[in-house]
Structure 1
């Protein structure tokens, strides 16, 4: 039911409705110079919010709604690492939007804040931030808390980070792996990554049962949550479960290591006797010191994975085999990641093709 009355020189509308608990509520708004303006405004509210409870929901801040949304829809559905990313988005949103209400969020305001965020973050980070906020706001749109999508056609930009060296040359890679010792845990973690291309969580998640010295292979079937310390967890994707062939030198290194650090069946082989599994920052520090000693350009631990893949591609291993060895979900991922290398190899192939044809025509 709607009623109108004049308060001083302005008109006010009052709409009575029941909330979700069946209790009567009143929605009032004043400040209209003419009664017809109040009638038009009340009609618009009723048309856009048939049950009227969503009008009040629109007074909730964007950040508050987003925090409730991720708790309900994401906390139990994604990994702790992924959920942490959603929480980081909440922190950034709080800095950008403050207490801005959902009903006051416009396309212009959203784009302004997205641009502000993009001035200090990489495009990929901005894209993730936008994707997560947009998913939440589309939910608010479905619930009719907001009447339009403020993220529609938003332009995503970002800071272009200077490209850093991500891989080692073949010679430097050789120098590194021959320098590493089978009697040190940190050295062996680095060594296994360098000769297999495994992800960090996969390496530190290895158990003795995953090492098949007789058939020269390592089985990747789980990972270790070194960040939140919850123990073993699933691999990044189902395709990450794989067997990786290893050479005789690696088998010998692993045998020596396991003699030095005997492992129990359900304990990671790279866990210290005190029960500690190195976090990635500790291994990156160790890797940096080793590379500095050898006077090799610095790369991160993840750069060992890129190095391994790059070397295999340059040595003529097919993209499909490299993709399977890395545990990529599709060959497209491998092709896009190592596009520059594949293009170089294609140029070399063209030269070989011409050479073959020229020899055949003589």
Structure 2
């Protein structure tokens, strides 16, 4: 039921309705100069929000609604790691939108804050943030809490990261290995990545039982969630479970490291005494500083994996063996990742083939 009355010089409408619990509520709005304006506004509200409870829902903040949404729809439906990503989006949304109400969110405001987020984040990160937040906002649209989609046709941008080399050449790779202090946790991690090609999560997930110094083998059978700190987790793929052969010098360095840092048999060997394992930003900082000291071009930590694979291929190790050592799910992954190297090596092989054939009659 709707009623109208004049308060001072302005008109007010009052709509009576039942909430979800069957209790009577009243929705009032005043400030209309003419009664016809109040009638038109009340009619619009009733048309856009048939049950009227959604009008009140629009007064909830975007961040509050998003947090409730991920708790209801995502918490028990996705992995803990994925759920942590949704929680990170909530954290960023709070920094960008604060207490902004759902009903006050416009396309302009949304795009302005998305642009602000893009000033300090890569385009891929901005896209993920937008995708998760938009899914929640579309739910509010379906519930008729809002009447338009403020995320429609949003423009995704991002900041450009400084370009870095993907790999080191053989001489720089060797120079790095010879100048690492493997008694230090960070530099030992860098050393292992360079001589095994292991992923970061695989390295920091190693426990003493995974290291067979007698047979010079490292067993990769799990990883460590260094990003969201959920503990041990499965390897990236089933093919990532593998044994990696190491040289005698690496075995010796590992033995010395364990003698210095060993704490517990079921504890990651790269976890310090306070229970902390370096996150990706920390290990990349250690690597960058070391490369600068040695006047070697900067690469990321993951670039050590590419470096290891590239050097093995250039030294004549078969693609199949490199693929197994890296723990790729199939040889096609290795071939596509290192196609440029394989093509270069094929060109060299052609010269060898011609040389062999030319020597037949000699």
Using the size of structure 1 for normalisation, the TM-score is 0.77
The alpha carbon displacement at 1:263 in A equals 6.6
Which stretches in structure 2 are left out of the alignment for 5+ residues? Answer: 358-362
The residue that corresponds to 2:339 in the other structure is 342
80-89 or 44-53, which deviates more: 80-89
RMSD: 4.1
Residues of 2 paired with 1:175 and 1:164: CA distance?
19
Q: 5 Å matches for 1:1-362?
A: 1-7=1-7, 10-32=10-32, 35=35, 37-74=37-74, 85-180=85-180, 185-213=185-213, 217-226=217-226, 232-235=231-234, 237-239=236-238, 241-249=240-248, 250-251=250-251, 253-255=253-255, 257-258=257-258, 264-272=264-272, 274=273, 276-280=275-279, 283-284=283-284, 286-288=286-288, 290-292=290-292, 294-312=294-312, 314=314, 325-327=325-327, 338=337, 342-343=339-340, 345-346=342-343, 349=346
On the 8 A contact 2:225/2:233 being kept in 1, the answer is no
152-161 or 75-84, which deviates more: 75-84
Post-superposition Cα deviations, 1:5-52, rounded to whole Å, max 9, x if no partner, equal 444565433221122222211112334455555444333323332322
Q: For the structure 1 residues 28 and 267, does the alpha-carbon distance in structure 2 shift closer, same or farther, using more than 3 Å as the test?
A: same
Question: Helix, strand or coil: the match of 1:160?
Answer: coil
184-193 or 348-357, which deviates more: 348-357
The residue that corresponds to 2:360 in the other structure is none
Question: Helix, strand or coil: the match of 1:193?
Answer: helix
On the 8 A contact 1:208/1:263 being kept in 2, the answer is no
Using the size of structure 2 for normalisation, the TM-score is 0.77
Residues of 1 paired with 2:161 and 2:13: CA distance?
54
